[in-house]
Each structure stands twice: as structure tokens, then as C-alpha cells.
Amino acid sequence: MPASERALIASFRRQASVGRGVLKGIGDDCAILRVPPGHETLVTTDFSLEGRHFCRDWHSPEFIGHRCLTRGLSDIAAMGGVPIAAFLSLALPPKLPQAWANRFMKGLLSLASRHHVTLAGGDTAQSPSGVLADIFVLGSVPRGKAILRSGAKPGDAIYVTGSLGASAAWLKELLHGQEPDRMPQSLVPQPRLQTAQFLRQKNLATSMIDLSDGLSTDLSHICQESRVGAELWQDAIPRATIRKSKVSLEAALHGGDDYELLFTAPERKAIPNQIAGVSAKKIGRITSGQKMVLLTGAGIKVLKPQGWQHFEK
């Protein structure tokens, strides 16, 4: 067992105490959790693999730890749920500096603490190649109230939170030889938990998904599960701003790793422009066909899912 693995387990034990909904964390064969009465359990799991989802040369350890947990929390948000506990399986290469692991954990735990999520367990191992993380998040939602991908109806309006394309545009700059630079704090993706819980509590959304693979691909998942089509209004899509200029339409339409919410709501429901400090913008409507189209100034284009396939070295 390399030093870093032993230190990690110690750090797990220190951090992974009991908390809201967690009766027993690390130190037995299983963690013991309590889901509130009348609630269902939500479960999601996401890999973060070096060379596939991140690159140690380009991303800071804190950012990688933060985004590792963001992937899980964002899935809980997409159902309108409340996260309870996270479990981290982490395999590290033998020569990884201990400081890297510590900074990774710092990024992850700081996000966990902000959302009152307990790190309740996990597994550690020596990795045969690169850093391998697998995050598992468990949450809850009142019985029957989860917001599914399958509830969109023709005529519903389509909304998106925040702005899109920052992660993809940032990565493109790096791939084109820009000096690796820390991503500005304002561009670091955040799981939209409070916004999603508001939508669920007010019964506003008919369907919802988080934007991990890119708008075109994630919208196609809603269309597929709801058996509907969609039209998006090109000029309405909120594009992120990097170095004082707006990102390309491509990045906003197909870029991944934004972790904003994409949801549908009946036309008659009033959706606030800001929900829990995050903007919500109408960007199109659900149609009765099975096709997705993009309305541009010049006419109508068919929209194909061309979402982010993660970057490969």
C-alpha cells in the first residue's frame, strides 16, 4: 500500500464522519443511512478517469475533485432531489505526490460541505495507470415527486439555467496551445441543487436533465424518453463569456460539462428569471414530432445530438 493510499484512508476516516442522514460512515462493512420517511432513494454513479475526463497537466487537483463530486450532485439535482451521502472509490498511481491527493480531496470535500453532503465511505487502491475516481451519490426525494426525463409534453416550453459552453470553449483553447491557466472561479461548474429543488417544490417542471454531455445530446435524451420532438431558438441560447467574448454557438450547443439544468414546463406556468441565484431562460419548445430542429435567423436546421464525447489525449 503506497503512502498516499494509507494517508487517504486516514483522511477519509477523519472527514467521513456521521452527518445528516448518515448513522454510520467509514469503519464497518457498510455505511448505514436513513432516508426520510415518505421519501424514495436516488442513486447515481460517475467515473472521473485521467486521460479521459481530465488531464493532470491542465486541471488543478482541486478542480478535478470538485468536478468529480459535481457530476454526482448534478444528477441528484436533475431529479429534484436532496443529496445525503457520497462514496468515493479512488485508485492512485504509486508515484503520485501526496499533495496532489490532498488537494483533490480538498476540492471534493469543500463542495460536499457546501451542500451538507457526508462522505460516508468508499474504497482505495493502487492504480495500474493514472488517477481513477468513481463517485457514488445517494439522495432522496418525496415519494413520486422525482422529475424524470420522460414527462415532457408537446407545447411545453424548454428552459436552461445559467450559461452554456464555458467548459468546452476553455478546453478548446488548451487544445490549441493556449497556456494552461486556472479556470476562473465564475466558470467552475456548480450543481444546481437549490434551483432544481425549487422547481420540484413548486411543481413547475414536467421533465428535467442536467447538461453533462452537451445541450444537443441531453435534449435528445429528453425527446427520446418523452417520445417528443423539440425546436430550439438559436438566438435565445445563453452563451458563456470567456475573456470578455461570448463562446461559439458550437460550444453552447454541443459542449459538455456545464452541469446546468435543462427542463420543460407548461407554457402557462410562470418560471422566474432567477431561481436560487441562477438565471433560467426559455430557449425553445417541445413539439409533437420526433425531430429536433434549430431556428436560426436564416431558417430551420435539423439539430443532431453532437454532444461532448469527453476529451481523449
Which residues, 155 to 194, sit near a second copy by CB under 8 A?
none
Site for a second copy in 53-112 (CB under 8 A): 53, 74-76, 78-79, 81, 85, 87, 89, 91
Instruction: Among 28, 57, 179, 235, indicate the residue that binds a second copy (CB under 8 A).
Output: 28
Packing angle of the helix pair 193-201, 61-78 (nearest 10 deg): 10
Number of other residues whose CB lies within 10 A of the CB of residue 233:
14
Q: Between vectors from CA 162 to CA 271 and to CA 252, what angle results, nearest 5°?
A: 120
**Interface segment toward a second copy; rule CB under 8 A; list 29-37, 183-191, 252-260, 269-277:** 29-37
Are 80 and 144 within 8 A, CB to CB? no
Per the CB < 8 A criterion, the answer to whether 156 and 89 are in contact is: no
Closest contact distance (angstroms) between CB of 35 and a second copy is 6
Q: Minimal distance in Å, beta carbon 111 to a second copy?
A: 18
Residue from 9, 15, 20, 45 touching a second copy (CB under 8 A): that is 45
Residue whose CB is less far from a second copy, 138 or 247: 138
Q: Which helix (H) or strand (E) holds 22?
A: strand 22-24
**Using the rule CB under 8 A, is 257 a contact of a second copy?**
no
Number of residues written out for the chain: 313
The least distance separating a second copy from the CB of residue 296, rounded to whole angstroms, comes to 29
Task: Determine if 2 is a binding residue for a second copy (CB under 8 A).
Answer: no
- Residue 67: CB atoms within 10 Å: 26
Name the nearest CA neighbour of 132 among 113, 109, 104, 106. Answer: 104
* Interacting residues of 93 by C-beta distance below 8 A, sequence separation 6+: 126, 127, 128, 129, 130, 131
Residues that bind a second copy (CB under 8 A): 1, 23-24, 27-35, 37, 40-47, 49-53, 74-76, 78-79, 81, 85, 87, 89, 91, 120-123, 125-130, 132, 134, 136, 138-139, 141, 143, 146, 148-150, 208-210, 225, 309, 312
